Amino acid sequence: MSLTDLAQEILTSAKMLDERGLVDPESKLGFRNLSPTDYNIRSRLIDAIQELNRLALGPTEYLYSLYMTGCIQMVGLHAVARYNIPQKVPNDGIKIKDLGNELKMDEQILGRLVRQAIVHGIFQEPEPDLITHSNLSRLLRDDSDWLHLAQFYTEDSWAAAALELDALEKWPASHDPCHTGFNLAHKTTDPFFDALGSDPSRLKRVAGMFRAVQTMLLQGPDKLTSSPLWNEIDKPGSKVVDIGGNSGYISQQLAEVTKDVCFVVQDRPEVVRMAEEQLPAAFRSRISFRAHDFFHEQPIRGAQVYFIRKILHDWPDYLAIKIIQNIIPALADGSYIVICDRILPDRARSGYEEKEARSSDVNMLLHLNGRERTEDDWKKLFAAADTRLKVEFEYWESSAHCLIKALWLG
């Protein structure tokens, strides 16, 4: 497409969203009540903007931006997160000198780092040396989950990404979850989640990051809660085992759209302790917690659903198969193993959603040697676990994920 064609696509899509009254600059999402059609318009808008940017820059400037700017910009973003600068900036702003005094940092260096964040929309500088909030910095100030996400990716993931190729060279063709960039960067022989358990501050960052991601248009639980499966099993005595359910935030979403189902959230002991303290009183009659390692046999028998959301992508195939097989002895006739996870396209293309998907795939690699999977990959995974599982896919329009329902026919 030409520059003019792309500009016209941008204008057309933007007008359609404006005319629908969907743009909400003050909200976290930036939009309100997007239907699948509206979501697709937004996707076309983003893709056209990115393609226009690439075409306008040309190959040399685009590659320079991709490699040089993309790498170096992390320093300023890291400083914002590590020093929690959004919390240090009052509503009427702060002089860089005063901010430097509070942080005990050199004024000149701090100014350079903050200005690097400003070019990405985090903070503003309405007059020389005065730093004020933008909508992005306010989000980091007001929502601790989003600050934790920023801290996780700059403190934990950035270093792991830098050493992933060193890990591949040290352990060629290894699928061991302890042979990763994360292990090299953080000098640990433990797998990612074990390392988290020994560091409360890192555990807190990851829990916040998980919650933040659920609020994204591309990632959120709204499609999950609308699945007809939950109405099908919503009967007195029904039980859902939420395996690796962290703080139970998804079980809470599901409890709101069901009446009789009870939920047991399983996770590591330190996660369970934190989650039990944080569970809102309104859910305590229907949601409970139990420490469980999913690499051991499932102790709760005969539940209607054994639910695994965004867990199996953390693990290489041989361990994902083991996780599924550890549930099978607990299944009753008609029980489901239900996976909510991403389905990768069979081939790559450019575009915002594809970029996010491929980044997620490599993210799994550098932390745990895990992977995102295509539909065919998922079918092979279940077939390897047990051929008595009948697998169906429930796709959702304008969602990065789908529901994989494996009915037990044993």
* pLDDT score, position 221: 53
CATH fold of the domain at 214-408? Rossmann fold (3.40.50)
* pLDDT score, position 218: 63
Residue 104 makes CB contacts below 8 A (sequence gap 6+) with none
Whether the full predicted model's pTM is greater than 0.85, yes or no, is: yes
For residue 148, indicate whether it is catalytic: no
* pLDDT score, position 313: 96
Gyration radius from the chain CA atoms? 23
The string of pLDDT tens digits covering residues 223-235 is: 899 999 999 999 9
d(CA 70, CA 59): 15
**Residue 393 DSSP SS3:** strand
Q: Is-same-fold flag (3-137; 214-408)?
A: no
* pLDDT score, position 199: 86
CB of 244 within 8 A of CB of 266? Answer: yes
Q: How many residues does the chain have?
A: 410
Q: Write down the CATH number for the domain with range 3-137.
A: 1.10.10.10
The string of pLDDT tens digits covering residues 127-147 is: 999 999 999 999 999 999 999
Q: Which residues of the chain have pLDDT under 50?
A: none
Given the residues 78, 179, 313, 401, the one annotated as active site:
313
Domain extents in the chain: 3-137, 143-212, 214-408
* pLDDT score, position 121: 96
